[in-house]
Amino acid sequence: MIGGLTIGQFIPGNSLAHRLDPRTKIGIVLVFIIVLFMARGVVPWIVLTAFTVLAVTVSQTPPQMILRGLKPVVFIIVLTVGLNMFMTRGEPLFRIGPLVATREGLAFGALMGFRIVLLIAFSSLLTVTTSPIALTDGLEALLKPFSRIGVPAHELAMMMSIALRFIPTLLEEADKIMKAQMARGADFETGNFLQRARSLVPLLVPLFVSAFRRADELAMAMEARCYRGGQGRTRLKQLRAERRDYLAFAATLIVAAVVIAFRYGFGHG
């Protein structure tokens, strides 16, 4: 019910995406997210969809896994489409009481829902193809220039990577607790919104207790290994950008240029 989210999971492999520098992959994802919210017109959406399909193919990630990772956000997608359909003015399609669904709202809602699908599918490839250690090193390397103005680059990178790493762990823990509570007679499916929200209390309390216990165990494990932050730390593997990194980032910039051109350039012609 809760499982299936691909963000935070790492699948070892030897694909081209796995061999890319983590800094390159983080940069590609950031550029993709920016242009995803700038896309306007049929051609940019075709280009972004094709780029996502290409990225999934290059990463050798099973498409079923990507589709399975979309299940937890189906409710958000449906809610987004529904809200836009009833909140946007335009040509009426049908009426439900005082609410009027419009053709323009349905089109805009479907576009927003598809944007969420591409966002989740593409972003999940970052953690699927990058180990937590490599992701931490990449984030720290990108944040390091800001350390001159007092930004704790290593600590921020460590926190972000740990958070990503524990997303699937906490989801799995929540699923186990939910099944255990259902075996004891708990009902999470029936009733109105307030009743269903109240029924989540037996799930949230042990989940928070488990999360704090895991955090305490992780802190003790890091202290036992003499972890004292990033000051003076060395690395066995140094990050080095290679030709494939430049080519991959250049391809991303070409996609971004197409999207920007259609938004501000000849796309309005």
Instruction: Give a yes or no: residue 208 inside a domain.
Output: no
Cβ atoms 46, 258 nearer than 8 A: no
CB 16 within 8 A of CB 57: no
Asked, for residue 222, whether it belongs to a domain, the answer is no
Does the residue 134 lie in any domain?
A: yes
The low-confidence residues of the chain, meaning pLDDT below 50, are 1-3, 267-269
Residue 72 lies in a domain: yes
pLDDT of residue 1: 41
Closest CA to 157 of 255, 233, 55, 229: 229
Question: How many domains does the chain fold into?
Answer: 1
DSSP states along 145-209 = GGGGGT--HHHHHHHHHHHHHHHHHHHHHHHHHHHHHHHTT--SSSS-HHHHHHHTHHHHHHHHH
What is the per-residue pLDDT for 47?
94
Q: How many CB atoms lie within 10 A of CB 267?
A: 16
Q: Contact 57/151 with Cβ under 8 angstroms?
A: no
How far apart are the C-alpha atoms of 241 and 223, rounded to whole Å? Answer: 32
Residue 253 falls inside a structural domain = yes
Give the pLDDT of residue 256: 94
CB atoms within 10 A of CB 5: 19
Q: What pLDDT is recorded for position 199?
A: 74
Residue 126 resides in a domain: yes
Q: Which domain holds residue 90?
A: 16-153+234-268
> Is residue 262, in this structure, part of any structural domain at all?
yes
HSE-CB of 252 using CA atoms within 13 angstroms: 22
pTM over the 0.85 mark: no
Would 178 be classed as within a structural domain? no
